[in-house]
Amino acid sequence: MHNKRANFTLCLIIFSGLLTACGSASPTSSVGEVETSVAATFQALTPQTEITQSVSATEMTVPTLLPTSEPAQVLTQGSCTPYAAGQCEQVRSDFEQAVGVPMVIETASFSDRVTGGTGTACRVHASGNGTTLSMGAFTTLDTFLSGQGWSWDSNYGAAGPTGMMEGYRKGGTLGLLSVTWQPSSRDLCPSNQPISACVLTPEQKLIEITFDIAQVVTYIPLSVDQCAAWLTTLQLAVPVTLVQEVVDFNDMEGNVGTACQVHGAGNGLDFSNFMDTANALDSVFVSLGWTVANGADGPTGTAREYSSGNQTAIVSVTWEPSSDANCPNDQPIGACNLTPEQQLYTLTVAFAQK
């Protein structure tokens, strides 16, 4: 997989800028200690092995696995869910501007006729007659989508005398665009002639635009045992207690699903800086044969995506000032004078499999 740092929009928004390091504490284990201890827990990463062996010279207590939030719903791989509401609204607004007629958003049932996956989609929709719309809207919208990073999927293309359809991909999202027409009344067109021979006034030609946008579920979580084994291993590398949860998941290329996530939080008394912790975690993954696929860094954190076979993990270590920090809005965050207690750290490592 190629490194696509510029494509991870969310991380670039959160982390844009130069790296900083604040605080005074350090992780509970050094990178070298973590590398030495990883071998002792490697076998625990297979589901059939119980997590009972010692992981270091000093016995480590495994934290209680408590969810930190309401678990996300685990969806079937290949099923379809609607495009995110904010992104769908942006498409609606852009389409409305491109074709010059009001567009609305609806929730529609969705079926992927190529894979058989079913679910629901966000539908961007407009209808009118020949006085307000034309079949040229298809070309207009096709050109617009191509310019916005959507690529054609030839499996979904179709054309006929009453309309056209095309399929588009953007990350893990599938969009189906159709522009069709029909007579306002069936008796306007002779039944013994092809529909293309029907002569209609603009008012008699009803035109409809639909763009159904669905996210195709790619990922499911690792098993509970696998996630628990990862929690045991990663606990060596971090200075705060980790807990386990199931969360919605997006990889850095836009593919979606759900993941098992280990999560911890602390402040500048626990973390020396986010890069020390990120590097300690990197040592664990590299030692176990995982490779870095994508990443993004900035003044308030780092995110890295790792892969191993059909499994993906995203590590995020970030910090933000506490509500009483009173950081100036006109200065970079790195210029804010904070006490260790005012630096609030969040660590997440999400694991998913295809």
298 and 182 belong to one structural domain: no
The residues pairing with 147 across neighbouring beta strands, listed in sequence order, are none
| Confidence bin at 41 (pLDDT 50/70/90) | very low
State the average pLDDT for the chain: 83
Residue environment code for 189-222, b if the CB has 16+ CB neighbours within 10 A, otherwise e? beeeeeeeebebeeebbbbbbbbbbbbbbbbbbb
152 and 267 belong to one structural domain: no
Q: Which of 116, 122, 123 is nearest to 155 (CA)?
A: 116
**E strand map for 25-162:** 80-82, 104-111, 118-129, 151-160
Per-residue pLDDT of 301-329, as tens digits, reads 999 999 999 999 999 999 999 999 988 88
| Confidence bin at 50 (pLDDT 50/70/90) | very low
Q: Is residue 15 scored above 80 in pLDDT?
A: no
CA distance 138 to 179: 6
What is the pTM for the complete model shown? 0.73
Our count of domains for the chain comes to: 2
Domain final position from 166, 191, 216 = 216
User: Tell me, what's the pLDDT at 187?
Assistant: 85
Name, of 64-73, 205-214, 292-301, the range with top average pLDDT.
205-214
Region 78-82: mean pLDDT is: 93
Q: Is residue 66 scored above 80 in pLDDT?
A: no
87 and 212 belong to one structural domain: yes
Per-residue pLDDT of 193-208, as tens digits, reads 888 888 999 999 999 9
User: Tell me, what's the pLDDT at 57?
Assistant: 30
CA distance 354 to 349: 17
| Confidence bin at 4 (pLDDT 50/70/90) | very low
Q: Range of 232's domain?
A: 5-77+223-353
CA distance 20 to 338: 13
User: Tell me, what's the pLDDT at 127?
Assistant: 96
Q: Is residue 147 scored above 70 in pLDDT?
A: yes
In terms of C-beta density within 10 A (0-12 exposed, 13-18 middle, 19 or more buried), how is residue 329 classed? exposed
Tell me the percentage of the chain whose pLDDT exceeds 70: 80
101 and 204 belong to one structural domain: yes
CA distance 314 to 306: 6
User: Tell me, what's the pLDDT at 271?
Assistant: 93
Per-residue pLDDT of 224-258, as tens digits, reads 999 999 999 999 889 899 999 999 999 999 999 99
User: Tell me, what's the pLDDT at 334?
Assistant: 79
| Confidence bin at 33 (pLDDT 50/70/90) | low
Region 77-85: mean pLDDT is: 93
18 and 141 belong to one structural domain: no
204 and 230 belong to one structural domain: no
Domain final position from 191, 216, 241 = 216
Domain final position from 200, 216, 232 = 216
339 and 248 belong to one structural domain: yes
How is residue 46 annotated by DSSP? S
DSSP 139-192: HHHHHHHHHTT-EEEEEEEEEETTEEEEEEEETTEEEEEEEEEEESSGGGS-TT
DSSP 245-297: EEEEEE-TTS-EEEEEEEEEEEETTT-S-HHHHHHHHHHHHHHTT-EEEEEEE
∠166-149-351 over CA atoms, to 5°? 100
Which of 6-15, 107-116, 127-136, 224-233 has the lowest average pLDDT? 6-15
54 and 106 belong to one structural domain: no
50 and 127 belong to one structural domain: no
55 and 22 belong to one structural domain: yes
